[in-house]
Chain A
Amino acid sequence: MAAVLEQARSGAVPVGGAFLFNDVGSVRITTPELFTEEQRLYLKTALQFSTEQVLPQAEKIEAKDNALLRDLLRRAGELGLLMIDIPEAHGGLGLDKTTSLLIAEAMSLQGSWSVSFGAHTGIGTLPIVWFGNEAQKQKYLPKLATGELVAAYALTEQGSGSDALGARTKAVLSPDGKEWILNGSKLYITNAAFADVFVVFAKVDGDKFTGFIVERGSPGFTVGPEEHKMGIRGSSTCPLYFEDARIPRENLLGEVGKGHKIAFNILNYGRLKLGAGVLGGMKLQLRNALLFAQERKQFQTAIASFPLTREKLARMTTLIHAVESMTYRTSGLVDAVMAGADKTAADYSARLIAAIEEYAIESSIMKVYGSEALGYVVDDAVQIHGGAGYIEEYPVERAYRDARINRIFEGTNEINRMLIAGMLLKRTMKGTLPLFEVAQAVDEDLTAERLPKARVQDELAAEEQAAENLKRLAIYTLKVAAETFGAEIEQRQEVLATVADIVMDAYALDSVVTRTRQAAGEGKLDAVRVAMARQFATEANVQSYARARRALCATVKGDALEEHLAKVARLELFTPYDPVELRETILQAVEKASGYPLSAV
């Protein structure tokens, strides 16, 4: 596909969503192969911490041993694992987002720990890093960096989940003007039982959505009983109650009425990070499932040698590879925008927030794709374990339950699918993305039955073209829907969600092909990576064209429908590969590595 964005041609960092309009490989992407020596060492320390300090204590953690969880946070603090996103001036390390994500990956081997760690370092600490004033930063950040203080984040309420701004908790200034008085309640607050510092959202005078810092022990503020959850049972989740709760006036976070800026930007980053936050768990489940399958014998044969087991293990590996390729590509985009920026500048946080917001489409992809990939991986892992997978004694049973929350928090996958398609349209209206211009060109090409060939004629030429055609498919389908429904398109959630699915597969395949080519340098493409790219392309094509047809059926009728269907059928050029051959190539590498074959350390 012709690179439409001049900006991309100039070698600058592509804008958010540009992947959909740029050629495969037109911009070098960040991948684990490009991690620096320091990043590898950080990852090693973090993985060592996870495997030696966290995993062996999984049962105690799951029994809601809050003291242990807190102690682990403190120990993580000693190692600097809580310092990544905190500036050096406030006791942190001020490292890049790729490092932040790879630490999140390493922390994700145990679900409850991962969520507790993420709530503290991410949604708990970052609002103060990004929106706190100097006094607040000095007061809280050094202690949050070491784990001496633990943070939590309170947005959700009984009546407001995805509709975050519908909060009913109210804040008013006391008559003497010295304190804020909060009334209301919050629900499902992670780390609540032992956190010291809570970032709480309330509406000033009942209508101005605003952030506050609330310390444990504030008069009128109480933490309710633990929820009994399906998974991540070891993490603490409680309601918060504010009954004329009094907090000092200076604990206002940011500005009155600007709470949405805090909430949405924190969510953007949380979504980006979620892609990494599922990777560690997926890799562990792959390894455990493989080792189990190699031990477990039926009909005098290890089940790891049965084709249907091998098919599952290969599919898990391919999914992990796709998520990994997208995850670090996306964090790399944010880092590229911020490269060379003065970390001590007053506007650094504002620029960083803007850089993360720029890639909100990619971040929503990470959230949806990552959480659903994890879902498939744990499902396959349970199935490989057979009956044992249904027994609590085996860690895979817990992993299966733990995985489920990922599709719900940080904005449900439904909300995020709407955001992916919705933001593509919004940015097109704003003029930063050329959806209609490119859609017009795609339409002309399809009418004339001419489709550009892959730019690089190597073993992945067909996959490159498949990725370009998936982009065309998404663009074309979205254009038809936008033209048909106009402003009413927002109500057509099925159509938008379907487009989002195709966009996600396109981003994944583009990332996988680009990564595979980059990893080869000037040399030969790696056979295992090629097999994964082909397997991914095969699955993505099967799914995406069926989805596009479904979306078109829900958009137009009669002859017009026939015409659109005929046009998109012209994009479906990809010849699938022999799945048995592909999975054998992948599985041999998995067996050799006793798990995910491309680990960075």
Chain B
Amino acid sequence: MKILVTAKRVEDPESKIKVKPDGSGIVQEGLKYKINPFDEIGVEEGLRLVAKHGGEVVVVSIGGKEVQEQLRHALAMGATRAVWVNHTGPLDQMGVAGLLQKVAEKEKPDLVILGKQAIDDDQNQVGQYLAEFLGWGQATFASKVESLESEQEKNKVPALQMGADNKSVRVVREVDNGLATLECALPAVVTTDLRLNLPRYASLPGIMKAKSKPIEELTPAKLSVDVTPKVQVLKMASPPPRKAGIKVPDVATLVDKLRNEAKVV
């Protein structure tokens, strides 16, 4: 089977992120970047499925030359080849989904796996748009029944289960009140939640091999996608600093404050 997985380049959450004084964006100097952790989980799941069922994982990223770093990371984890959509400049969620739609139509994968969201803007929209654009079934927030300490996880058993004839996929989803199970006809779009798997590290032999794996370059123009954003970012701002808390002497005072000051009970 062929699995297409996304690998967005995002700011490393361990970097100190600061908004520019004029609110036009964040200060990029000195920032570190990495593959979106949810996408990394997607790559891992793709690799496990391929290990079990055969086939290949193709990884895709959109951005300037620098996103090749994230593509190489996915290749070093074990993806077979990469597609790089070379685009700098503003891009909104529909633009991303539009580009991925064309890549998917070109690659014709059985499954597209994306992170449920990217940790930079936490939009949680692209997977859903993409399924809609492609007219495919979708299963968002894929999770698994077993814990991340389980034997299944240690043995890298894929959490996504293929139907007997490899024409459908069974996905356990994390929802507010527990787990829901969906069965989707293939091809389908799946987005990953945090508790789907623990991604492998890029091994040293993997990194060496990744050097010679191909990265195909595409552009929005080549894919005939108009990426003019419909969503405009007007201004960015840091959240206001949290006010210091107070200690109350007893429960009665707490209840009183909750009722009369916070007006929540």
Chain A interface residues (CB < 8 Å from chain B): 37-38, 41-42, 44-45, 48-49, 78-81, 83-84, 93, 95, 592-594, 601
Residues A594 and B16 in contact, CB atoms below 8 Å apart: yes
Q: A38-B207, A81-B204, A84-B204 are in contact. List 8 more A-B contacts (CB 8 A).
A: A41-B202, A41-B207, A42-B207, A45-B203, A45-B204, A80-B204, A93-B208, A593-B30
Residues B72 and A37 in contact, CB atoms below 8 Å apart: yes
Q: List 21 A-B contacts (CB under 8 A).
A: A38-B207, A38-B211, A41-B202, A41-B207, A42-B207, A44-B202, A45-B204, A45-B207, A49-B201, A78-B203, A79-B203, A79-B204, A80-B204, A80-B205, A80-B206, A83-B205, A93-B205, A93-B208, A593-B30, A594-B16, A601-B32
Residues A48 and B201 in contact, CB atoms below 8 Å apart: yes
Contact string against A for B residues 211-252, beta-carbon threshold 8 Å, 1 for contact and 0 otherwise: 100000000000000000000000000000000000000000
Bound Cα distance from A41 to B201, whole angstroms: 11
A86: min CB distance to chain B, Å: 12
B76 at the interface (CB under 8 A from A): yes
The residue from A41, A95, A593, A594 contacting B73, defined by CB atoms under 8 A apart: A41
Chain A, Cβ-Cβ closest to B29:
A592
Chain A, Cβ-Cβ closest to B205:
A80
- Hey, which chain B residues are within 8 Å of A81, CB to CB? 204
Residues B204 and A42 in contact, CB atoms below 8 Å apart: yes
B24: min CB distance to chain A, Å: 21
Chain B, Cβ-Cβ closest to A36:
B211
Bound Cα distance from A80 to B200, whole angstroms: 13
Chain B, Cβ-Cβ closest to A78:
B203
Chain B, Cβ-Cβ closest to A80:
B204
- Hey, which chain A residues are within 8 Å of B76, CB to CB? 41
B233: min CB distance to chain A, Å: 26
Chain A, Cβ-Cβ closest to B69:
A37
B220: min CB distance to chain A, Å: 26
Residue of B16, B30, B207, B211 with most chain A CB atoms under a 10 A cut-off: B207
Residues A41 and B72 in contact, CB atoms below 8 Å apart: yes
Bound Cα distance from A481 to B211, whole angstroms: 54
Interface size class of B (residues with CB under 8 A): 10 to 19
- Hey, which chain B residues are within 8 Å of A79, CB to CB? 201, 203-204
Bound Cα distance from A369 to B206, whole angstroms: 35
Residues A83 and B201 in contact, CB atoms below 8 Å apart: no
- Hey, which chain B residues are within 8 Å of A594, CB to CB? 16
A461: min CB distance to chain B, Å: 29
- Hey, which chain A residues are within 8 Å of B202, CB to CB? 41, 44-45
B117: min CB distance to chain A, Å: 23
Bound Cα distance from A80 to B207, whole angstroms: 10
Bound Cα distance from A119 to B48, whole angstroms: 34
Bound Cα distance from A601 to B204, whole angstroms: 16
A583: min CB distance to chain B, Å: 20
Chain A, Cβ-Cβ closest to B198:
A52
Bound Cα distance from A601 to B205, whole angstroms: 19
B149: min CB distance to chain A, Å: 14
- Hey, which chain A residues are within 8 Å of B30, CB to CB? 592-593
- Hey, which chain A residues are within 8 Å of B204, CB to CB? 42, 45, 79-81, 83-84, 93, 95
Bound Cα distance from A19 to B76, whole angstroms: 39
Bound Cα distance from A93 to B208, whole angstroms: 9
The residue from B16, B73, B201, B208 contacting A38, defined by CB atoms under 8 A apart: B208
Bound Cα distance from A37 to B16, whole angstroms: 24
B169: min CB distance to chain A, Å: 29
- Hey, which chain B residues are within 8 Å of A45, CB to CB? 201-204, 207
Residues B203 and A80 in contact, CB atoms below 8 Å apart: yes
- Hey, which chain B residues are within 8 Å of A78, CB to CB? 203
Chain B, Cβ-Cβ closest to A75:
B201
Bound Cα distance from A79 to B203, whole angstroms: 4
Residue of B16, B202, B206 with most chain A CB atoms under a 10 A cut-off: B202
A528: min CB distance to chain B, Å: 12
Bound Cα distance from A42 to B72, whole angstroms: 12
- Hey, which chain B residues are within 8 Å of A41, CB to CB? 72-73, 76, 202, 207
A225: min CB distance to chain B, Å: 33
B79: min CB distance to chain A, Å: 14
- Hey, which chain B residues are within 8 Å of A49, CB to CB? 201
Bound Cα distance from A240 to B16, whole angstroms: 51
- Hey, which chain B residues are within 8 Å of A95, CB to CB? 204
- Hey, which chain B residues are within 8 Å of A601, CB to CB? 32
Chain A, Cβ-Cβ closest to B202:
A45
A483: min CB distance to chain B, Å: 52
Chain B, Cβ-Cβ closest to A589:
B30
Bound Cα distance from A37 to B202, whole angstroms: 14
Bound Cα distance from A44 to B72, whole angstroms: 13
- Hey, which chain A residues are within 8 Å of B205, CB to CB? 80, 83, 93
Chain A, Cβ-Cβ closest to B15:
A594
- Hey, which chain A residues are within 8 Å of B206, CB to CB? 80
B65: min CB distance to chain A, Å: 12
A237: min CB distance to chain B, Å: 28
- Hey, which chain A residues are within 8 Å of B211, CB to CB? 38
Bound Cα distance from A81 to B206, whole angstroms: 12
Chain A, Cβ-Cβ closest to B211:
A38
Bound Cα distance from A41 to B211, whole angstroms: 11
Contact string against A for B residues 16-48, beta-carbon threshold 8 Å, 1 for contact and 0 otherwise: 100000000000001010000000000000000
